[in-house]
Structure formats: structure tokens, C-alpha cells
Structure 1
């Protein structure tokens, strides 16, 4: 999992200045979201839904406040 986290962190790195958290933390959060999504019962989120939720949040418009 560490290797995957490193790759994810590298994908976030070019956007570091615009991110709310450091790339390393975002990589950990994304891994957690992916792992947690597979533990549900009924209908897990699709890959596209997970990425959209992670990048844009739950609110329409993508940002709170």
C-alpha cells in the first residue's frame, strides 16, 4: 500500500499549491475512501463517482462557504 500511496501522492504533487492538504495526506485519504467503498452492502460507488466525490465534494458547486 505504501507504493500505491507514493504513486497517488506523485499524481497530486503538481497541484500542491492549490490543494487543501499535502499530497501525502490526500493520497492516504483517497486510499481510505477506496477501501471503505468496497466494504458496503448494497451498491458500491463506481470509480467515476468515487473520483468525482473526492475531487469535488458532496455539495453541488464543489465547495462549501
Structure 2
């Protein structure tokens, strides 16, 4: 599976995912924090299915 996320994009997704997941344990403590798993996984893998559908590519590597 080719990457379609750049380094900065991936870093932002990983940080946002971790922040959202932390809300499950601290803060409002609602299950909605688990939505952070999505940006965390896409950031770690470097591939976003939504980017594929929309034709977006923030990765500097050539396909």
C-alpha cells in the first residue's frame, strides 16, 4: 500500500490521536476519545483511505 501522508501530516495525526485517546482516561472521560485511534493508526501507517478517495497526497515521495 503506497503512502499518501507526508511527515508533518503524520506527526500531526499521531499527536492528535494520542491527545484524543488521553481524553478517555483524563478530562471528560467519555468513549468519544477512542475516535483518536483512527488518526493514530493512519499516522503510524502513513496511509489515509479518505485521502485516496479525494485524490490528496501530502507525501513527498514519488509513487
Q: TM-score, normalised by structure 1?
A: 0.35
Q: TM-score, normalised by structure 2?
A: 0.36
Higher relative contact order (CA 8 A, sep 6+): 2
